C-alpha cells in the first residue's frame, strides 16, 4: 500500500541545494515496506511583474527488516518576464543497514546543480556509520559520521575533487501517537579532511502541526540556515530559508 503526500507550498523560497537535510525524510511511516511522497508548488504572478515558478519533490522509501533505502529528487524552475531566475535540481539515494540496535552502516550518492549559485554540478559519494541513540514511540536521537568525495564543476568550468568528512546530529519529538504533530532539529558539519577551515554547516528546524485531523491536513514550517566558508566566487557564504507548506496526506 502506498501513501502519497501532496504539498502545496504557500511560501516559495529560492532553495540552495549545496547542503541538504536528509534526516527530515526519515521520520515518516516505518510500518510499510514501500511508501512515498509527492510535493509540488506553483507560483503565478501577472501584472507589473510576470512570474512563473514551479517546485517539485518526489520521495520513495523501501524498507525490509534492518534495510532502509530511499530516493529523493527535487527540481525548482522559475521565470520572471521571460528570463530565468531559478533553476536547480537535486537527487539523493541512500541505503542504511542497521546491523545492530544502536549501530548501522550507510552508503549514499548525491548529484545536484544550481545555475544561480554558480554550480554546474556537484557529485557526492560517501559511506559512514549511523547510531540511533534513542528510539522510543515519541522521541528519537540519532548521530552519524562518515567520509565522502566531493566533485564540483562551477560556472567557469573549473573542476575540483575533495575528500570531506560528514557528521550529523538529529533529534525528533512527536506530540501524538500518529506523528501528526512533530518537532525535528538537525545539524550537519562537513569539513575538508585536509583543511578544517573549509567546512559547511547546515542547521534546520522543522515543525509540523495538524490543522484538520479528520482530513489529514497539516501545516509544515521550517527554518534552514546554511553556511559555506568557501562558496563559488560571487556567492554569499550563508543562506537562510524559511518555508511554510500545507500538507494533505491520503
- Which CA distances in Å does 28 have to 61, 207, 224, 249? 9, 14, 20, 12
Domain ranges of the chain: 5-249
Is the model's pLDDT at 87 over the cut of 60?
yes
> What is the pairing mode between strands 139-154 and 159-174?
antiparallel
Confidence class for position 209, pLDDT limits 50, 70, 90 = confident
pLDDT band at 18; cut points 50, 70, 90: very low
pLDDT beyond 50 at 224: yes
Superfamily holding 5-249: monomeric porin ompg (2.40.160.40)
% pLDDT > 70, the chain: 83
Report residue 8's pLDDT band, with 50, 70 and 90 as the boundaries: very low
Report the range of poorest mean pLDDT among 49-63, 64-78, 207-221. Answer: 207-221
Question: How many whole angstroms separate alpha carbon 210 and alpha carbon 219?
Answer: 6
Average pLDDT score over the chain: 80
Higher pLDDT, 12 or 122: 122
Q: What letter would DSSP give residue 231?
A: P
The 10s digit of each residue's pLDDT in 24-47 is: 556 555 567 887 777 767 778 887
Q: Which residues are CB-contacts of 61 (< 8 A; sequence separation ≥ 6)?
A: 28, 34, 35, 36, 68, 69, 70
Q: What is the pLDDT of residues 193-207, one digit of tens each?
A: 999 899 999 998 988
- State the Cα–Cα distance between residues 80 and 235, nearest whole angstrom: 21
pTM: 0.76
Q: What is the C-alpha separation between 54 and 32, in angstroms, rounded?
A: 30
- The helices-and-strands tally (H runs, E runs) of the chain is 0, 13
Amino acid at each position: 500500500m502506498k501513501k502519497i503526500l501532496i504539498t502545496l507550498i504557500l511560501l516559495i523560497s529560492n532553495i540552495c541545494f549545496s547542503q541538504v537535510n536528509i534526516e527530515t525524510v526519515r521520520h515518516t511511516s516505518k510500518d510499510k515496506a514501500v511508501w512515498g511522497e509527492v510535493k509540488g508548488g506553483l507560483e503565478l504572478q501577472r501584472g507589473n511583474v510576470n512570474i512563473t515558478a514551479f517546485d517539485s519533490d518526489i520521495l520513495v522509501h523501501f524498507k525490509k527488516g534492518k534495510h532502509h533505502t530511499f530516493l529523493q529528487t527535487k527540481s525548482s524552475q522559475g521565470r520572471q518576464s521571460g528570463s530565468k531566475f531559478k533553476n536547480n535540481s537535486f537527487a539523493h539515494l541512500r541505503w542504511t543497514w542497521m546491523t545492530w540496535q544502536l549501530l548501522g552502516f550507510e552508503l549514499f550518492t548525491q548529484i545536484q546543480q544550481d545555475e544561480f549559485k554558480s554550480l554546474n554540478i556537484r557529485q557526492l559519494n560517501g559511506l559512514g556509520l549511523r547510531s540511533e541513540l534513542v528510539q522510543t514511540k515519541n522521541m528519537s536521537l540519532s548521530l552519524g559520521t562518515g567520509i565522502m568525495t566531493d566533485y564540483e564543476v562551477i560556472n567557469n568550468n573549473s573542476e575540483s575533487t575533495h575528500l570531506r568528512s560528514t557528521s550529523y546530529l538529529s533529534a525528533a519529538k512527536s506530540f501524538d501517537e500518529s506523528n501528526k504533530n512533530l518537532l525535528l532539529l538537525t545539524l550537519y558539519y562537513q569539513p575538508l579532511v585536509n583543511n578544517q577551515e573549509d567546512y559547511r554547516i547546515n542547521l534546520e528546524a522543522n515543525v509540523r502541526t495538524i490543522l484538520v485531523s479528520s482530513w489529514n491536513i497539516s501545516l509544515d514550517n521550517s527554518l534552514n540556515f546554511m553556511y559555506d566558508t568557501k562558496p563559488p566566487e560571487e556567492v554569499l557564504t550563508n543562506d537562510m530559508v524559511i518555508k511554510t507548506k500545507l500538507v494533505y496526506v491520503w
